Chain A
Amino acid sequence: MNWVTDPFSSAFMQRALAGGILVSVICSIVGTFVVLRGLAFMGDALAHGVIPGIAWATLIDAPGILGAGIAAGVTIFGVNIVTRNSRLSSDTAIGLLFVGMLALGVVVVSASDNFRGDIVNILFGDILGLGNSEIWTLAITALVVAGVVFLFHRPLLLLSFDPEQARTAGYSDKVYSTFLLFLVAGAIIVSFQTVGTLLVFAMLLAPASTGTLIGRRISTIMATAIVAGIFSAFAGLLLSFHYDLATSASIALTAVSLFFITLAASSLRLTRKHAYDPRQGSARKSNYV
C-alpha cells in the first residue's frame, strides 16, 4: 500500500489531479498579477459575479462556461460604468456589483423548482466528477494564458508597477487593465467547475501570495506560485481521499496554510537576518551617499 500513489489508481482521481494541477497553473500565473496589481477585491467580485450566469445557464441547459462568461463581462462592465459616472471609488463600485450579482444568483436559483443541488456544485466545484472535455478545456486555457502572459509580460509588469510608467513607455494602461481583468475572469470561468466559484479565489490568491513572500522577481514569484499551487492540489486531494474531507476545500485550505507557513518561516528568517547580519547595519548607514 502506498499512501501517496494508491489514491490515484482510479480514473476519476487521475482526472481530479490533472484538473487540480491545471487550475493551479492557470490561477498562479494570473494570480501573480492579481496580487501585484492589488486586484484581490475585483477577483473576489468576479468569482461571485459569475454565479447568476452559471445558474441561468443551468436552468436553460446551456454550458455553464457561457453563462459565467456573460456574467463576468457584465461585472467588469458594471464596475467600469459606476467608477466612470460617479465619484465613488472603485472598491465601492466593485462591492456594489459583487453583492448585486450574488443576490441575483440566489434569486435565479430560488425562482426555479428543479435546481437539484447544483448550487453546491457552483460554489464548491465538482473536482471528482471532471470529464475529459473539461480537462481539455483547462489544458488549452493554461496554454493560452501562459502564452498571452509571456507575450505581454512587459506591459503587464509596467502596469502592475506604475500605470504612469506603462503609459510613458507607450502601453495604454486602459487597454492592459481591461486585458488583465479579462484574464482574471477567464481563469475563474474555466476553473469554477473544478474548485467552485468560492474556492477559485483561494487558488488565485494563496499560491501567488506565497510566491511573493519568496521571490524577488516576477519570474521567480510566478514559478514559486505554480509549484505551491500544484503542491496544494496534490496534497489537498490526498488529504481529502484519506480522511474523507471535502475535496476542493482541502485543496484551498492547503494553499492558504502553505502561505501562512511560508510567512512564519520568512519572518523568522528576517528577524534572524536583522539580528546577525552586519551588512544590514552598514547598508543603512551608507544611505546618505
Chain B
Amino acid sequence: MHTTQGRVPHEKATMSESERLPHPVVRAENLTIGYKNTSVISNLSFELPFGSSLALCGGNGSGKSTLLKTMAGLLPPISGTIEVLNAPPGKQPRRVAYVGQFHNENQAFPLRVKDLVLMGRYPHRGLLRRFKKVDKQLSMQALEQLEATHLANRPVRDLSGGQRQRVYLAQALTRQADLLLFDEPATGLDPVSMGLYRKAIAQTRAKGTSIVIATHDFKEARSMDVAMLLSRVLIGIGPPATVFTKDNLTRTFGVSITETAGDTSPNTFAVETHHHHQHHDDEEITRPSPFLTPPFS
C-alpha cells in the first residue's frame, strides 16, 4: 500500500462509486413477482448500475409498487432471482430505505415526529445501543431539508397527510442508505413541499445514492438516469429519452399520448386518441391517467 507516502494516491481518491463497487445496485433475472398465486410481472430481467436513479412508470396496477416492495424485501419473489446491493432483498436494512405508497401505520400510536424520524437509525443501532450525536444530527438535518423542523415535537397522529409524507421522507433520508425506494413519494405534497422534495432528491443523487422512484410525474421521470415503463410486462427500460417513445407510451397506457413541446408544467403529455390499441385485463389502465391533459388545440 502507498500509506508510507502519507497521502492517498490521486487515482484512488477520484474513483467513482461505481468503480469501487462494481456490483449493480439491483439485478433481476427471470424475475416473476406478485402476490401468493397471482403473478403481476413475469420474467423480468434488468440491471441497475450502482449510483444511478430509476423511474418506474406505468398506469395503476402496472406493477410499480409490486416491484418496489420486492426490492424492499416486503414481498418474496414468486420465481427467478433478484439481488439488491449484491444480496437478497431485505437483508441489508442499513443500506436500503423504503417509503411506501400507503402508510398503514397505527393512527392512534403516540409518537413524536422527531422520534419517528430517529427510527430511521434503528438498523444502525441494533436492539440496545444508544443513539449517538450523529443520529440526532442526521434526523434534524433531514427535517430541515424538508422544512419540517417546526413539526419535530408534534405528535405524528396530529399531522396532515402531506406533513406526514414529508416526515416519512425525512425518516428515509436519515437512514443514509445506499438505495432509496420511494413509491409515489410526491403524493399529497403541496407545491412548496414538492420543491423541497425535488431538492432533497437532487442532493441525495449528487451524493451517489441510488434511487428507485415509482412516479406518475413524467417530468420527474425524465430527470432520472434510467426509466422503466411497466404494464404488467416490461415495455421498455433505458435512458428516459429512448424509453418514452410514442409507441411505448401507447403500449403502456392503451391510449396514444404525445409530449407537448415547450410545456414545462408537470402535465407534459396530451392524449391524442382514445383508441385502445392493446388488450388489458386491468380496466384501470385503459382509462386516461390523471396526469394526462386534454388535447391542446
Contacts and interface: CB of A to CB of B under 8 A. Distances in A.
Contacts of A164: 74, 100, 104
B46 interface: no
Interface string B84-119: 000000100110111010011110111110010001
Given A161-B105, A168-B73, A168-B97, A216 B119 contact: no
Given A161-B105, A286-B150, A287-B163, A217 B111 contact: yes
Nearest to A153: B127
A287 B74 contact: no
Contact of B123 (A170, A221, A287): A170
Given A212-B110, A215-B110, A165 B119 contact: yes
A158 B122 CA distance: 10
Interface string B141-185: 000000100100011000010110000000000000000000000
A160 B112 contact: no
Interface string A166-207: 011110000000000000000000000000000000000000
Interface of A: 36-38, 151-152, 154-155, 157-158, 160-162, 164-165, 167-170, 212, 215-218, 221, 283, 286-289
Contact of A38 (B74, B103, B106): B106
A289 B112 contact: no
Classify chain B's interface size: 20 to 34
Interface in B113-137: 115, 119, 122-123, 127-128
A288 B196 CA distance: 13
Contact of A217 (B100, B112, B127): B112
Contacts of A167: 73-74, 90
B90 A161 contact: no
B105 A165 contact: yes
A90 to B, nearest CB: 15
Given A151-B127, A151-B128, A218-B110, A168 B105 contact: no
A28 to B, nearest CB: 15
B72, B96, B106: residue with the most chain A Cβ atoms closer than 10 Å: B106
B220 interface: no
A157 B118 CA distance: 13
B285 to A, nearest CB: 26
B190 interface: yes
Nearest to A220: B110
**Interface SS, B side:** loop
B93, B122, B190, B192: residue with the most chain A Cβ atoms closer than 10 Å: B122
Nearest to B148: A289
A154 B124 CA distance: 12
A189 to B, nearest CB: 26
Contacts of B160: 287
29 contacts: A36-B108, A36-B109, A36-B110, A38-B106, A151-B127, A151-B128, A158-B122, A160-B106, A160-B109, A161-B109, A162-B103, A162-B105, A164-B104, A165-B119, A168-B72, A168-B73, A168-B90, A168-B97, A168-B98, A169-B93, A170-B123, A212-B110, A217-B111, A217-B112, A217-B115, A221-B110, A287-B162, A287-B163, A288-B192
B192 A169 contact: no
B106 A37 contact: yes
A257 B14 CA distance: 69
Contacts of B103: 162
A185 to B, nearest CB: 22
B215 to A, nearest CB: 20
B110 A216 contact: yes
A165 B90 CA distance: 12
B182 to A, nearest CB: 12
A158 B192 CA distance: 30
A23 B289 CA distance: 57
Contacts of A286: 150
A162 B90 CA distance: 16
Nearest to B168: A165
Nearest to B128: A151
Contacts of B109: 36, 160-161
B119 A168 contact: no
A216 B115 CA distance: 11
A162 B73 contact: no
A156 to B, nearest CB: 10
Given A164-B104, A288-B192, 18 more contacts: A36-B108, A36-B109, A154-B122, A158-B122, A160-B106, A161-B119, A162-B103, A164-B100, A165-B119, A169-B119, A170-B94, A215-B110, A216-B112, A217-B110, A218-B110, A283-B154, A289-B147, A289-B192
A228 to B, nearest CB: 16
Contacts of A217: 110-112, 115
Contacts of B96: 168
A264 to B, nearest CB: 19
